[in-house]
Structure 1
């Protein structure tokens, strides 16, 4: 397993929320699915379960206000990453897509779930494999950077990414596969050049797989690989209002004779 560079956890804050995002194949996602990747459904139930797992873990550790504050920090990091990407796109003469939304927990989580699947497929196609030793070594590196104990690493992941302890290895695998893709397709170049090259490969992989997303969660821009906000008003970027707005939207839908999503 090839590795790129050690990246401090604090500097990786935007990775999950602003990960390389993927092109849609058009049309509505299949009923009951938040997205479909390579013919495999990411169901609404799976998405809600992952969002709920992260929320419950953060509330248990930080409390309700601490949970909201942690999401604010993640949102700020994602917006910084978005700003940098917009500046780079403008400098290269590319059209900048308006309406991107990375802060709503539902959309951000779905983006991460899609990205993990496409990165895994790209790594498999490139012959990149992971071992438990790779995961242990990466975990040990990050644990050292976050204070030296497993508990400190878990709290840092929960605060920075909103990822509970049970899913840390999944995210480490995601990062290691990206490192392997950088090493394969862009060895010996700057990190910025490597990321551009890898993103090109991810676009190809996504096109081969076919990625479809329910318009309930927004849409995808295939050239810039950005998530664009949908029109559903209850997908709030403010965690203090999210559950309340969902309940209001469901009540309104039922009152109008529409199925509750």
Structure 2
């Protein structure tokens, strides 16, 4: 199974169910929600994912605070999706397409609310995160204590990657601090569905 700790990384799952670095920077491109190294996560792409989440969940009545948190959580996951790949590469682990497809099937069977455009990246994140847990801990986590230690180790490695490649967040969405997107910017409300879908971030 995908597991709660993995599916829960897209925090909107909890939202619709009820209805790990110092340094920060701001993007200079107003059309970018965030940049991770040379990769750009566009505002239009992030807003499309927000609309898709709400459509799949049948929600249209989010408060400003809920909408802000939704976009912040989605942006965090997209940044993590980008950071996990070079982090895994440095650790010498990889994700096979078969493993990714298996996780995608598990996600779909569990009806986890994830935008279709984010499914591949999220499934790859799950596979690579599991591999990193085992590689860095030296064994598969067998207890809550093991998992907590693995999370700490992976967080450190992702922090190193973020420092190497650079992560910048559009001030409208907050700031990048402590390995996370810290909300605090002005709410960016998803606009009407565009006639042409924005391109997804390109992963290495």
TM-score normalised according to structure 1 size: 0.58
Give the equivalent residue in structure 2 for 1:58: 57
Cα-Cα RMSD:
3.2
CA deviation profile, 1:150-201 (whole Å, cap 9, x unmatched): 5x43xx212xxxx035543332211111111112211236111111011000
User: Structure 1: how far apart are the matches of 2:38 and 2:98?
Assistant: 31
Give the equivalent residue in structure 2 for 1:47: 46
SS of equivalent to 1:51: helix
Alignment partner for residue 171 of structure 1, among 110, 122, 127? 122
User: Structure 2: how far apart are the matches of 1:55 and 1:23?
Assistant: 32
User: Structure 1: how far apart are the matches of 2:133 and 2:168?
Assistant: 26
For the 8 Å contact 1:51–1:105, the answer to whether it is kept is yes
SS of equivalent to 1:54: helix
Give the count of matched residue pairs: 179
**Structure 1 regions of 5+ residues with no counterpart?**
1-5, 76-101, 144-149, 236-241, 248-261
User: Structure 1: how far apart are the matches of 2:3 and 2:23?
Assistant: 32
Give the equivalent residue in structure 1 for 2:181: 227
Please identify the structure whose Cα radius of gyration is greater. Answer: 1
For the 8 Å contact 2:33–2:170, the answer to whether it is kept is yes
User: Structure 1: how far apart are the matches of 2:22 and 2:80?
Assistant: 10
Give the CA deviation at 1:129.
Answer: 1.9
Structure 1 residues 171, 28: closer, same or farther in 2, change over 3 A? closer
Structure 1 residues 37, 24: closer, same or farther in 2, change over 3 A? farther
Alignment partner for residue 132 of structure 2, among 175, 181, 184? 181
* Matching of residue 26 in structure 1 with residue 38 in structure 2: no
User: Structure 1: how far apart are the matches of 2:185 and 2:9?
Assistant: 25
Structure 1 residues 117, 166: closer, same or farther in 2, change over 3 A? closer
Structure 1 residues 106, 122: closer, same or farther in 2, change over 3 A? same
Residues 64-79 of structure 1: matches in 2 within 5 Å? 64=60
Greater helix share, 1 or 2?
1
Give the CA deviation at 1:25.
Answer: 4.2
Tell which deviates more after alignment, 170-179 or 120-129: 120-129
Give the equivalent residue in structure 2 for 1:133: 98
Give the CA deviation at 1:43.
Answer: 1.4
User: Structure 1: how far apart are the matches of 2:76 and 2:103?
Assistant: 23
Structure 1 residues 42, 169: closer, same or farther in 2, change over 3 A? closer
For the 8 Å contact 1:33–1:41, the answer to whether it is kept is yes
Alignment partner for residue 14 of structure 1, among 2, 5, 8? 8
User: Structure 2: how far apart are the matches of 1:64 and 1:126?
Assistant: 42
For the 8 Å contact 2:36–2:79, the answer to whether it is kept is yes
TM-score normalised according to structure 2 size: 0.72
For the 8 Å contact 1:187–1:194, the answer to whether it is kept is no
Give the CA deviation at 1:12.
Answer: 4.1
